[in-house]
Amino acid sequence: MNHIDSVSSLEPARPTWRNAMMKYQDPSAARAIWQLSNSFIPYVLVLYLMYRSIEYSYLLTLALVLPAVGFITRIFIIQHDCGHGSFFRSRVVNNIVGSLCGILTFTPYFQWRHDHALHHAGSGQLDKRGTGDIHTMTVAEYQKATPWRRFWYRVYRHPVILFGVEGFFLFLVLFRFSRTKGFNRRRWSVYATNLAILAMVMILGFTIGFKEYVLVQLPILYCMSVVGMWLFHVQHQFEDTYWEQGASWDYVSAAERGSSYYKLPKVLQWFTGNIGLHHLHHLNPRIANYRLQRCQDDPELDVRFHTLTLWSSLKTLHLRLWDEERKRMVGFSALKKAVQQ
């Protein structure tokens, strides 16, 4: 595979990638069950250790949040793969496992699956923004916006708000409400997830104490939301990403150019369920996370991609707007420079 150094170096998508990737889209029940085991069992064990550690030191409890967030992230990735129908071969099993994962991640499975499908269908398409993505204004839109709208957009895109507030509010509050009318599966998914979460809270509250439950659950949910928002941000909000309108938009280009390869240390790659191989995931979402690395290493796979490391991903923090003329993400400082020139 080839690293993209700049947009100008891009060539039309090679025809070999599709056949090369199809070899990896067949789910493996054995690997899926093993991943369930090495994610759920240690997660429950860490929860128990967090509960027992409260009586000794809450600092120790907070220290255990780190591995807990790692395992709940893996559980979210399992839920994610179930939503794509890639984790198990059976659609029924995928939906059952995905719904159970959604209770632990505070996410209504069917509603999230619908929104995420819209994200894949329109990722990088300027006229289909608004569902399952981080809202991004173009430079022209920002310049034409009212002062009040500019203010709120700056608030929305500030790192403290974007990563520290919005994700937590999404998982804790917004996911508790249905956005659809009528009684359909997505609406019932919200209600069922809420009832299951309430049952979980009541059972654990009366068993270990409501205070203890909150002291364990709240920091995990908060940190999970921060990690989730960060991963989603770096997967699509890098400088040379891809945005186009109407007929100019292309699915393959959006996957290759608009989804990054977030090259993490192996331990973090394991905890994040290979979701850093996001360029491959967008090219073929039917490949389960446990096959993505083998797909990445396939010498027959000819795919262009942008690589981000932990260090280089920090540089995406200042990016706020899409510059349609320069075809790149820019910060608000670019507007000041343009005015000065």
CA atoms of 89 and 75, how far apart (whole Å): 18
Query: How many domains are there within the chain?
Result: 1
For residue 161, pLDDT beyond 90: yes
pLDDT band at 336 (very low <50, low <70, confident <90, very high): low
**In this structure, are strands 260-262 and 304-308 parallel, antiparallel, or unpaired?**
parallel
Specify the pLDDT at position 16: 66
Specify the pLDDT at position 233: 95
pLDDT band at 7 (very low <50, low <70, confident <90, very high): very low
Looking at every residue in the chain, the average pLDDT score rounds to 91
112 part of a folded domain = yes
pLDDT band at 132 (very low <50, low <70, confident <90, very high): confident
Specify the pLDDT at position 8: 33
Q: What share of the chain is helix, strand, coil (3-state, %, to 5)?
A: 65, 5, 30
For residue 339, pLDDT beyond 50: no
For residue 183, pLDDT beyond 90: no
CA atoms of 74 and 107, how far apart (whole Å): 14
Q: What is the pLDDT of residues 142-156, one digit of tens each?
A: 999 999 999 999 999
CA atoms of 175 and 170, how far apart (whole Å): 6
Nearest to 28 by CA among 77, 72, 115, 90: 90
Specify the pLDDT at position 1: 54
* Cα-only R_g, the chain: 21
Specify the pLDDT at position 10: 37
| Domain containing residue 253 | 2-8+27-340
Provide the phi-psi class of 308: left if phi over 0, else alpha when psi is between -120 and 50, else beta.
beta
Provide the phi-psi class of 146: left if phi over 0, else alpha when psi is between -120 and 50, else beta.
beta
Burial class (CB within 10 angstroms; exposed 0-12, middle 13-18, buried 19+) of 112: buried
pLDDT band at 19 (very low <50, low <70, confident <90, very high): confident
Q: What is the pLDDT of residues 80-116, one digit of tens each?
A: 999 999 999 999 999 999 999 999 999 999 999 999 9
320 part of a folded domain = yes
303 part of a folded domain = yes
Specify the pLDDT at position 204: 97
283 part of a folded domain = yes
Q: Tokens 């069922």 map to which residue?
A: 192
The residue among 1 and 249 whose pLDDT is bigger is: 249
- Looking at residue 290, its amino acid is Y
pLDDT band at 12 (very low <50, low <70, confident <90, very high): very low
The residue among 3 and 284 whose pLDDT is bigger is: 284
> At how many degrees (to 10) do helices 29-53 and 289-296 cross?
120
Q: What is the pLDDT of residues 190-233, one digit of tens each?
A: 999 999 999 999 999 999 999 999 999 999 999 999 999 999 99
Mapping DSSP onto H, E and C, the string for 237-267 reads: CCCCCCCECHHHCCHHHHHHHHCEEECCCHH
pLDDT band at 6 (very low <50, low <70, confident <90, very high): very low
Instruction: Enter the tokens of residue 95.
Output: 């939906």
Q: How far is CA 192 from CA 116, 168, 198, 305, in A?
A: 19, 20, 10, 39
What number of CA atoms fall less than 13 Å from residue 69's CA on the CB side?
Answer: 18
13 part of a folded domain = no
Instruction: Enter the tokens of residue 48.
Output: 């128990």
CA atoms of 118 and 131, how far apart (whole Å): 7
Specify the pLDDT at position 131: 76
SS3 285: coil
Give the mean model confidence (pLDDT) for residues 272-301.
94
pLDDT band at 2 (very low <50, low <70, confident <90, very high): low
173 part of a folded domain = yes
Specify the pLDDT at position 13: 44
**Residues 306, 26, 77, 251, CA torsion sign:** positive
The residue among 338 and 124 whose pLDDT is bigger is: 124
CB contact burial 248-285 (16+ within 10 A = b; e otherwise): ebbbbbbbbbbbbbbbbeeeebebbbbbbbbbbbbbbb
- Looking at residue 131, its amino acid is T
Q: What is the pLDDT of residues 232-278, one digit of tens each?
A: 999 999 999 999 998 889 988 899 899 999 999 999 999 999 999 99
39 part of a folded domain = yes
CA atoms of 60 and 43, how far apart (whole Å): 16
21 part of a folded domain = no
Is pTM beyond 0.85 here?
yes
